[in-house]
Amino acid sequence: MLTTGEKPGVGTYKCANCGTIVGLDDPEDTLSPCPSCDNTEFEEVCYLCENEASVSGEFGRDFSFVRCETCGKYYLGEPSMWVRHYREEAPREKRTMLSAYTRERFEHGGEPPVLGYPDEDIITGYANKTLAEKLENLIWYATRKSPQFGDSILLEAEKDYPITYSLSPEGFTEILNNAIAQKLIESTESGFKLTEKGWTIGTELMKRREGGQP
């Protein structure tokens, strides 16, 4: 937990009491009390999803490396520029599509991407994903997470919503409910599991994707 008066460096910080996000765009900036509730405790959050994350900078360089349960791993070039401009350049809907991109790279075992100026092609690409693509990625993810057929797995809307390219945890739940309605996934006592139909589709997808296709 960070406290008012500290100089935690360039980044985005969330008030531990009311959730207000404050940005520091200079390494010499001091954390002030929360502008909304006057609270003095903050946690560092991911630039994209604003959930608690591990963010490390490199001394003397305007560069951040982020490890986030929602977004996977990514580098951000010029985080100070990001903090100054992201509200206009990358409002929440756009940032969430970047989360879909970074999480996808992470799940496919790719090198963490370097983000700079919000890339409109990436954002549009993910914003245009169809329901079929969203469902397919959820089934692929559930299959990859299952050690074997019939095993129960956790699917957590709060941190897994980028898996379905959704804008929010609610969007993830909608896709999950769709998969349940189509009898691809069913709930268990401790989570979810793939049905036989879901498993068949999922293992096909695994083979196809390992074969070099995205």
Residues that bind Zn ion (CB under 5 A): 15, 17-18, 20, 34, 36-37, 39, 46, 48-49, 68, 70-71
Which of 34, 138 has the CB closer to Zn ion?
34
Radius of gyration in angstroms for the set of CA atoms belonging to the chain, rounded to a whole number: 19
Strand arrangement of the beta sheet that strand 11-15 belongs to:
2-3, 41-45, 11-15, 21-24
Between the alpha carbon of residue 136 and those of residues 23, 141, 163, 175, the distances in Å are: 36, 9, 10, 10
What minimum distance in Å lies between the beta carbon of 70 and Zn ion? 4
What minimum distance in Å lies between the beta carbon of 8 and Zn ion? 16
Which of 18, 114 has the CB closer to Zn ion?
18
Give CA angle at 134 (128, 137), nearest 5°: 125
What minimum distance in Å lies between the beta carbon of 88 and Zn ion? 20
Q: What's phi and psi for 44, nearest 5 deg?
A: -80, 135
d(CA 112, CA 109): 9
What minimum distance in Å lies between the beta carbon of 29 and Zn ion? 17
Which of 70, 146 has the CB closer to Zn ion?
70
Tell the residue number behind the tokens 């531990």, with chain if given: 16
Which of 11, 198 has the CB closer to Zn ion?
11
